[in-house]
């Protein structure tokens, strides 16, 4: 699983890549591919390849999930497949944007 480098602010669009191979290291398209996220407050969202536009097949055995992070804190993400059964997990931190620290009057919040 590959995360993009750099800081991640609330409201950012994330792209996470999941690469799947067989025992010989050859690219493999699993029978089903799902991508799950858990926000810092515990909200879980599941995206399924072929059902949700959030997951695209980039090439054989390589999928990209695109989603927006809506709150600050530690996020969890997981690729989950069937036939073969694989699980790839990742955690990443999202921070409040510097611009979100001020209200509309320009006062520090």
pLDDT digits (tens, 9 = 90+) for 66-101: 999 999 999 999 999 988 777 788 889 998 876 665
**Which helix (H) or strand (E) covers residue 58, if one does?**
strand 55-59
Contact 94, 10 (CB under 8 A): yes
Domains of the chain: 13-100 (2.60.40.10)
Is the model's pLDDT at 62 over the cut of 90? yes
pTM of the shown model: 0.80
Residue 1, pLDDT score: 53
CB crowding 44-79: b at 16 or more within 10 Å, else e = eeebebeeeebbeeeeebbbbbebebeebeebebbb
């Amino acid at each position: 699983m590959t995360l993009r480098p750099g800081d991640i602010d609330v409201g950012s669009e994330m792209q996470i890549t999941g690469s799947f191979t067989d025992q010989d290291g050859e690219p493999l398209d699993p029978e089903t591919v799902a991508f799950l996220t858990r926000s810092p407050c515990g909200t879980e969202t599941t995206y399924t390849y072929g059902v949700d536009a959030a997951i695209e097949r980039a090439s054989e055995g390589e999928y990209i999930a695109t989603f927006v992070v809506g709150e600050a804190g530690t996020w969890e993400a997981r690729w989950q497949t069937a036939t073969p059964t694989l699980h790839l997990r990742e955690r990443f931190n999202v921070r409040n944007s510097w611009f979100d620290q001020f209200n509309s009057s320009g006062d520090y919040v």
